[in-house]
Structure 1
């Protein structure tokens, strides 16, 4: 049971990270009208 709980928490955390990345792309796309894949580079 603990393995399932660890996998569920890990899956939710990874899904949240993917969601935040997607929101970043969405905000940049709506602001500029272009898809910019270099948003993380400095």
Structure 2
């Protein structure tokens, strides 16, 4: 149970970091550039 809880928290933090990065890139970069950065992060 403890390990599962830890993994869940780690995933939650990772998702928050991605969304914060997406939001920051959207503010500081043109949308096209933002999209390419996000695709690179996803590895697509």
Count of paired positions: 38
State the Cα distance separating 1:30 from its structure 2 match: 1.3
Structure 1 runs (4+) deviating above 3 angstroms are: none
Q: What TM-score, normalized to structure 2?
A: 0.66
Which whole-Å deviations, capped at 9, do the CAs of 1:1-40 have from their partners, x for residues lacking one?
A: xxx1111000000011101100110101111363723215
Aligned to 2:16: 19
Q: Which has the larger radius of gyration?
A: 1
TM-score by length of structure 1 reads 0.68
| 1:5-16 correspondence runs (5 A) | 5-16=2-13
Pick 1 or 2: higher relative contact order, CA cutoff 8 A, min separation 6.
Answer: 2
Stretches of structure 1 that go unaligned for 5 or more consecutive residues are none
